[in-house]
A and B are shown apart, each in its own frame.
Chain A
Amino acid sequence: MTKSNSAVRIKGSRFKVVGIVALAAILGAGSRPARAQFFGSPGASTAPVGNIEGFTVSGKGTVLGKPNRLEIDLEVSASSELSADAIVKYRDTKKRLQEAFAALKLDNVTVEERGLLVDQKGVQINPYFFDAQPNRRSKAEVQLTRRLVVKCSEIRKLDEEALLQLVAKLLDVAQDAGGKVTGGQNNFNPYYYYDYSNRSSTGLVRFILDDYDKLEDEAYAKAVADAEARAQRLARLSHVKLGPVTAVREAASPGSAPTGAGMNARSGHDDDSTAKRLESSRYQEIPVQVELVVRFDVSANPPGNGRTGD
């Protein structure tokens, strides 16, 4: 191998490197405008970046609505060594609860059942149990558990006093009939560190708003108006003319995100997962909130028209 040959080869490889770098630079430069076409991440919706072809603004709309329904969660559970006994216990407990609510003869009160859990009771392994291990020979009992949801509709027309009376009656009937009312205050015990996750208060009663279509329309209209107002302000300050809306994205819609303290916009438990609803652990007006991210086109002001955004 001669010296000149190796020099030529080194030169050739330099050319290759330069070519690759140049290609990468071109590709990188080409992608910047493309990325700017899109909205930023949802978390950055309040500070859109990189949109060089218009204004991206967020608009919020909130309308308050009184809950139209309340729900109380009950649990029916029975266990026994013999599965047949567990079934009798479970069946009787459920029947007595349903009969007790039926005896109220309130047309707007219904008891709905959720999924049945067939589990075992009696064999538990506890990681904190350092000493005696659970008895290997103790038999597991069959345990049947089902959640019942007491639903009371048309509460909007009741005043607070009447509603309190109704809630008290429902809770009393549930407890007198042997029902275990779930939810409520979880007293936090600082010594039981394993209990950290379990200390939020959900309340014994859930207030539901699920007939909010009209309110939702209002909230959307308010959100669009809010977005437009924000964009107008930006256009005015930027001395450009606001163009038409080129894109809209829902940052938050009713039922998709938490809606405030004590409120939960979860889409429901178990079988309610598809239901459209808003709920609150407190009896108060529930906000129907909409948040939109809207992109407006902009154009330069006509020459004789000054540099205002109007």
Chain B
Amino acid sequence: MSVVRLAILSLLVVPALAFGQAKEDEADKVSNDRPDRPLQMPPASSEVKEAFDDFERFRRRNAWERALKALFTIPEAQALRFVDGQDGFIIPVAQNRRAVLAGLSPEGQAAYRLFYDDDAKKLLEKAEGPAELKTLERLYSEYFLTTVGDTAADRLGDLHFEMGRFDRAADCWLAVLRDYPDTDLSPALLSVKAALALRRAGRAGEIEPLRRDLADRYADEKVTIGGRTAPAAEFLKPVLSASGTGLDPAATPSAPPGAAAVSASASEPDLKLAEAVPADWQMRFGESVVAGMTPQERTQWDSNRLSGAVPAVTVEGTTLYANYLGYVFALDLETGKLLWRSGAFHNLDVPAAQDQARMLDPARFAILASKEHVWTLSRDLVDPNQMSPFRLTCRRTDGGDVVWQSTNLPDYAQLDLFGTPILANETVYVVAKPPMNYRPDQTHQYVLAVRASDGKLRWKTEIGTLRQGQRYYYYGLPDDSPQPRLIQRGGSLYVDTHIGVLARLDAESGELEWGYGYKTDPVESSGRFFFFGMMPPSDSTSSSTPLRSGEALFVKGAKSERLYALDTDRRKMLWDRPIAKSARLVGANDRMLFLGGPELSALDLRTRTLLWATRVPGGSSESRVLVRPGGIWQLTARGIFELDPDSGRVRRIFRGDDTGSDGGDLYVSGRHLVAVSNRTIAAYPIEASPAGGPARVDEGPTKKTRTTDD
């Protein structure tokens, strides 16, 4: 009897457990279609998803004709919309279709060729002239496994290479090598071409497997490239010598100048501050702001978050350019002399008295510079419209005259530029969204490529739709939305939206290639009442710029509780790990990943364990930390702290000339360490001497410091 009861109980309980697990997995899964995710990449229609489901169903039954027909019902207009791929990647329909076809069994492939070879051959014949690229792309996507698919991929690779899209060219050739084993094309030639494209794209990590394959199988095979015929290995030699360092001028990762993340490179010289040395010069802009304020105004200013703003700074040649809450100025790095400025800082006391200025996030002010121009992202503090958008302004470096600004150009109408822009190949890349008071049904997020010289929009690509919706702010509550970050590498542009998606775009065309959906906080309700002001303050941390170490690109969303290591070239997630939401990326070397937040800490990249954590005064949540092979430096309210990267031990505290500030950012330029706080910009001379020894504290004298008081 008891056995029967036990059996009945088991039958009742086991399904319940199974249901529970399924629900848990479902809740944990990251999908582009989940309604609670803050950003949705342009989704494919439900018919497309049904087509993939139908294909899978018929494939299992070996009903090949119906299975393949289902795939070919997908309209071409949907090819660049997005569906969930493997490992959390969100990929275009065309890529997913090709991946599905590449996974066909031999039987399926035979059926596929039987049904579609003729169509593919006809299309290939038409691939000439202006329609060549589009036709080849269609062949590559829809007919890759037909008998002409390899030829189409090879030709498409050539086209992409000529157009400078090295990433795509490499992908085309690698697709033939990996997914088309019975190709009649020369594997040696394809390997060499792929290696060349990979090198140009900065994907050095993928060249070594190609080299091994060539050495093992096609070492003596002769190939002809650019009219020159030589053994394949000969062509690879220059590629390998350059890829050994992984550094190619066109492929060097480009991080925004104002970004907090810094990659440690072994080629950088060690940084050593001289003992107790005064600053060579110091620009005390903070004193100019508060000069003449009444005690009441001073109290108001000190309680305003604008008073904690650290200017965005960039260095070009021997000139330092700064954007202090929209006031742009240039300093001579050698003397500290003020070269020009766009306005007097003491005017800041006016916006400090206005509530709408309190709502600004000072971290949104940004600056970029080239030899001729300086670009700033800012807005007018006295603008009574609290929701007015930020504008991009281009000025001449020699006097600060305005060349153009986005508010005067129709392309930027109804766009609010945000995040830290980057400059590459005479193009400014910046993220945009509709202004806060725009129609809630049109809240798309874009990446813009702007011609740097005249502000003309080169392309504008939609990353996705913001599900966050309209957010209202009352009574001077600040906008704390995370700022997106951009990096450029090879021919690709990566944007970490910090709302759950890392997206990769083609830097030249702006085409959205894929996205990676990571776990993040779900959408919040749209209204914010003033009662929020009484909430206990949470640890706020600035957005991290994605960091690369070896083949891994590290991503940590500002609202995410996980750290991800992605192989962006092979589109794989290498690993992920839980991490405090307050953590951010500040630097990396080949062994460790350095994290900021309430404390500075180091993560072992091999074991993925936290090696050490050191709390410096004021924490490490926002300021720009210098990470170099010889040490880690951070400007705090109590001076510049130097830490041993291996142990986290504080080696030295250099008080400097600006104790009592809120801390800020550090930059190295020539023989100066430039410390930028919310009150001053100071340049300390750097001397070379060995690091190590016990922790020391140098009380920096201030008597000899030359000051620039406005």
Contact = CB atoms under 8 A, between A and B. Distances in A.
B617 A129 contact: no
Nearest to A174: B617
B12 interface: no
A64 B71 CA distance: 94
A93 interface: yes
17 contacts: A81-B579, A84-B610, A85-B580, A88-B613, A89-B613, A92-B614, A126-B531, A129-B531, A131-B528, A132-B527, A132-B528, A141-B580, A175-B638, A176-B650, A177-B615, A178-B614, A179-B615
A82 B608 CA distance: 12
Binding site of A, secondary structure by majority: helix, strand, loop or mixed? loop
Interface of B: 27, 521-522, 524-525, 527-529, 531-532, 534-536, 561, 577-581, 598-599, 601, 609-617, 638, 648-650, 653, 694-695, 697
Nearest to B578: A81
B580 A81 contact: yes
Interface string A111-155: 000000000001010101111100101110100000000000000
B521 A135 contact: yes
Nearest to A122: B581
B650 A96 contact: yes
Contact of A132 (B525, B648, B695, B697): B525
A129 B648 CA distance: 39
Interface in A201-250: none
Contacts of B649: 96
Contacts of B524: 132, 135
A137 B524 CA distance: 12
Contact of B697 (A88, A93, A176): A176
Given A96-B614, A178-B599, 19 more contacts: A78-B613, A79-B598, A81-B578, A82-B577, A84-B609, A84-B610, A85-B610, A88-B601, A88-B610, A88-B613, A122-B581, A124-B535, A128-B531, A129-B535, A139-B561, A141-B580, A175-B638, A176-B650, A179-B615
B536 A124 contact: yes
A124 B617 CA distance: 26
A17 interface: no
B638 A176 contact: yes
Interface centre among A82, A85, A175 (most CB of B within 10 A): A85
Contacts of B695: 103
Contacts of B580: 79-81, 85, 141
Nearest to A132: B525
A138 to B, nearest CB: 6
Interface centre among B27, B534, B650 (most CB of A within 10 A): B534
A192 interface: yes
Contact of A93 (B535, B609, B613, B617): B613
A158 to B, nearest CB: 22
A194 interface: yes
A92 B613 contact: yes
A170 to B, nearest CB: 14
B648 A92 contact: yes
A88 B561 CA distance: 18
B535 A126 contact: yes
B208 to A, nearest CB: 34
Contact of B653 (A78, A88, A176, A179): A176
Binding site of B, secondary structure by majority: helix, strand, loop or mixed? loop
Nearest to B697: A176
A92 B612 contact: yes
Nearest to B529: A131
Given A81-B578, A84-B610, A175 B536 contact: no
A104 B511 CA distance: 60
B157 to A, nearest CB: 43
A5 B334 CA distance: 126
A178 B598 CA distance: 10
B9 to A, nearest CB: 32
A85 B615 contact: no
B610 A141 contact: no
Given A93-B599, A131-B531, A178 B615 contact: yes
Nearest to B583: A80
Interface centre among A92, A177, A179 (most CB of B within 10 A): A92
Given A135-B522, A138-B521, A141-B580, A78 B599 contact: yes
Contact of A81 (B527, B534, B581, B611): B581
A80 B579 contact: yes
A117 to B, nearest CB: 16
A254 B581 CA distance: 49
Contacts of B577: 82
B522 A192 contact: no
Contacts of B650: 96, 176-177
B577 to A, nearest CB: 8
A130 B524 CA distance: 13
A192 to B, nearest CB: 6
A92 B647 CA distance: 10
A141 B581 contact: yes
Given A78-B613, A84-B610, A89 B599 contact: yes
Contacts of A122: 581
By Cβ-Cβ distance, the 7 closest A-B pairs, closest first, are A178-B615, A132-B525, A89-B613, A81-B578, A128-B531, A80-B580, A88-B610
Interface centre among A89, A129, A138, A139 (most CB of B within 10 A): A89
A217 B532 CA distance: 56
Given A80-B579, A103-B695, A89 B531 contact: no
Contacts of B528: 131-132
Nearest to B36: A137
Contact of B529 (A82, A130, A172, A194): A130
A138 B523 CA distance: 12
Nearest to A142: B580
A132 to B, nearest CB: 4
B669 to A, nearest CB: 27
Nearest to A138: B521
Interface in A39-93: 78-82, 84-85, 88-89, 92-93
A129 B532 CA distance: 6
A82 B532 contact: no
A179 B615 CA distance: 8
A80 B539 CA distance: 12
A93 B615 contact: yes
Given A80-B580, A141-B580, A176-B650, A126 B534 contact: yes
Contacts of B529: 130-131
Interface in A1-27: none
Contacts of B609: 84, 88
B531 A194 contact: no
A297 to B, nearest CB: 62
Contacts of B522: 135, 137
A131 B613 contact: no
A179 B616 CA distance: 8
Given A85-B579, A85-B610, A137-B522, A176 B534 contact: no
A194 to B, nearest CB: 7
B17 to A, nearest CB: 22
A96 B578 CA distance: 25
A128 B579 contact: no
Contacts of A176: 617, 638, 650, 653, 697
Contacts of A84: 609-610
Interface centre among A129, A175, A178 (most CB of B within 10 A): A178
Contacts of A93: 599, 613-615
A201 to B, nearest CB: 19
